[in-house]
Structure formats: C-alpha cells, structure tokens
Structure 1
C-alpha cells in the first residue's frame, strides 16, 4: 500500500457529521474521527475543497428522507470533493499517491479524507483525474451539478437551430446548463430574479424574470419559437414550455415530476460527461462562478447560505491549503 501522511495528525481526521439527528445546519457537527483507510480496490483522498449542492441538505433534512438515500446516523455531509490521493489500496489501479483528483462521495465529502472505489460510482465514491489548469475549488464544484446538467442536455439534444428555455438558470446546475447549451450552439433564455439578470447574461443567457406572466414576457423577447426547455427548480417552467408549444419529449426536469416529461439526474450522465466538462474548464471554454468560500469550521453558515438558493454561483468549503 502506497501512503503519505502530511499535515493532519496521524490516525485522526476531521469530518462534518450528523450525530444525534438529521436536520438543518444546526444539526451539523465538525468531529474528530478515526482516519479512514483505503481497502481493496480503493484510494484515499486528502480533501482540499468540497462543493455544496441542494441535494446535500435535501436528502439529510429528516430521517425518513435520509433513509430513502440509504443514509443512517452517524452520517457525513456533502458529496462533491477535490483533493490529492494520499493512499492507494491493494488492487487499486489508475491512481498514484500525489495525483490530483475530484469526484463524488455520497454524503461524506466534507471531511479531511474520503475513501472511494478506484472504479466506482457516486454511491461507493468515484474519482477523476483533475486536469492541469483546473484549481481544486473549481474541481470541487463539478461532479453533481455538472453531471446533472450534462444528463439533462443529453435528453434535449440541442443544436444551433434550437432556442432553449432554462428555468432557474442562475443556480448551481444552471451555471453549467446555460454554458453547455451555448457551446452546443443553442440560443438560451434563462429565468431568474430581476437581480440575477447580469449574472445570467455573463453566462450567455438572455434573462427573463420568473413568475406570473412569464409566457408573455418570453413571447415579447421576439426570440422566435422556443424548441426545448429545461426546468431546474420544479415544474413551473414545464407548464410555460407547454404553453409555448414545446413538445413533452423536448422538455426535461431534474427536481419535479410531470407525466409525459422526461427527467434526468447526474447518475444518468454518460461516463465521459464529467471529464469533458473538466476539459472545457481547463480550456477556458466553461467557467464556474464561485460565490463564496468558507473554512470547514463555518460549515453551518455555508449551508445556510447555499440552502437559501439565492447565490449566483457555487459555495465551496475549504479543508486544506489548495494545490
């Protein structure tokens, strides 16, 4: 087994956890825990940054919801991470100590160390090599939101002849969905609050305020026919898209269910989707606005900000000095 120990006291590691009960930010605790060890076919990553997503607090909001995701107490928090491989278990291939990686570890990413399968998935933990030119904070924002956006856009199969309506375009998934749609050549109309208009324009979308009268405001843009739609918040955009004549097969949801309308999530993304997104970031073709960073000691404040869902970009937790 390859191993390198630096910085963190040997044998112990910090992890953000729910200990006595699931719940909101007030239930989160930063604990000193035994340092995890890489087993057969696994690698251990010394985490430098962890990105937050709505699913992190949604699936741990209460015991019943957590059970649906296979979670029980004590339970970690967060899924997206980036860092450096510091231990390679027997039989694990494709990684070496010192490799920079990013990936997903379901509800256990906000910790000094995560152990993931060298050839795994979100549930067991997965790692990808971080390309040169992508810093750890940015890499830690990619897995869930990037994979979800890629999966949804695969359903829509956008091209230069499309005009796509993206509801909730300024959020964490929207950051990726808008830019990937533009890279595909589509015209993008993005809904958001009036205060988010400049943010949406910076991503490449034509902003329009959500809420009552949205259908008429879109028609007033004189954008021609809307040919596809992506609802990143609930189902309101689905109903507007139908009013605009978009067929159900070219509408997609990620957080709501509407009969006849396809749904997608990050698990549906193709194996190359996330690596392609990382390459686009490295090439400067896709950027990830990071709205705020917090030290791990301030995890409660970070989750409160992220859960308010009014952040223009991503929220990241710093755990170690960045490479």
Structure 2
C-alpha cells in the first residue's frame, strides 16, 4: 500500500477540499491493512478502509475531525471482527498537496521522532520504500510513483528488445511507435502500447513533455526528423542509436535546421554500451541501463516531512 498522490491531486482538482482517511495502525481481526485509504469530498468518496460502520462513521466525520482516532470494532462499531483500528484523517486542498516529486511522506505532531529519522535514513540508503506505518504518533507512507512515459521510436529488433526489457519495470509506461502496423512484427509485452503512425515526427510533437525518448527507427532520415521534432518540443531525455560518424552528420544538419549547439547537445548519441556487443538484446540491455541511470539522476530521492498541527 502507498499514498496515491495522483488520485488525491485529481480529486482536489475536481472537488476542491478533500479529506483522506488512512488506516494507520491495526490490532487483531480487522477488515483492511495499514495503508488502506479512502478519499472523501462533498457529495462523494472513493477508495475503502473496509466498509461497514467504521467506514460510514469515518466518512461522516471526515470534515469535522483531523488527526488520529482509535476505534474498537466490536464494542464501538458493532462489527463482527473484534480488532482495533487507528485512523488518520487529513484535509487537503490545492495549496496543501505534497509535491509530486516526493517519494515518502512522514508527518505527525511535534518534532520528528528519532525512530522516524532512522527509518528514512535507512530507506534512503537502501533505495527501498518503507511500509506504511505509525511510529510514535508519526505516520510514514511511501508515495505511489507516477509511471514515467518511455517512447521508443522504431519497432524493429532493437526497439522490441528494448521495450520488452523495460516493460516489467513498475514505474515505466512504455510506448513503441512505428510507421505502419506491419512494422510491429516482433512480439511485444502485453503492457507495451503499440502506436502506428505514418508521420512519426508529427506524432512526436504530441508526446508528453516529461517523456523519455529512444530513437531506433529503420531510417536515418526519420531519425533526423524525429530529432528535429523533439528539439522543437519539450522532453525529459532523448537518445539516438548510431555511430559517432552518424551523430557528427546529424549535428551539422540539425544546426542547419536552426538548432543551437546547446539544444543539440540535449540529445544523447550514441546510446548504450558498445562493450556489450551488437546483438539486439545486448544493445537493449545497455540502453535500458543508461535510461534507468538517467531516471535516477534526474528524479533523485526527495522526502517530505510536515506537522499535522
């Protein structure tokens, strides 16, 4: 379980003020685990903390209460499961949303406990998000990472191998584009989006601005026009397969199309690791490793802490 900041942001955009109720601690038999959450707004809600009277009462009082509340499900709620649940209720609007770049949110009253400091230090060092948990009155939750759009231009043997290498990674949303449906002759993982388009450079102008692009088409001219289109559009990363000689020719032609040296330098070419060889899977492994490294360097690790008061 994790803090779905995207869902919360969408709810705030649609409904204004939104309450979030999360299961912070449990003991005994309970309907939902720590980290289960629901959003409540005027006239509606989404998600669930287990249903029954607990959820009904939590939704009913979502805007009249903030902070921690403890409930004995049998004596207090008349529910058949006899455990105990601690809920954390918080209110959010556009001004109080945590930044989308955060990876963990830790909040509570007063100074952060040493145990929370140690948990955050440990998860930074290990690169593994902590489980949702309540520590000495402070709630710690990993934030659901938004999936990063990866656009692979070219569905040939290298493009397909790269897409299938990247697709299993949980934080990547992989799209493969090529000029016609029959270009997709190599098997692609189910989670990969296939996007045939006769005019790939025109399509590039519609890619998300935060996308990472890998250009591996069958045509040097299409490769060049894709570079030209991307340099006129915002992107997070762009890599081009090819030799040093190819890139020297491309730099000259891109300059002739009006791009400055600084703009052209945003495109990484050659990509991959030459030492791994020229087998499509070896190229895919090298490019995938480079792409993952750029993601880590660009995104980094940020940590959000704040008071509940």
**Structure possessing the higher radius of gyration over alpha carbons:** 2
TM-score after normalising by structure 1: 0.28
Q: TM-score with structure 2 length normalisation?
A: 0.29
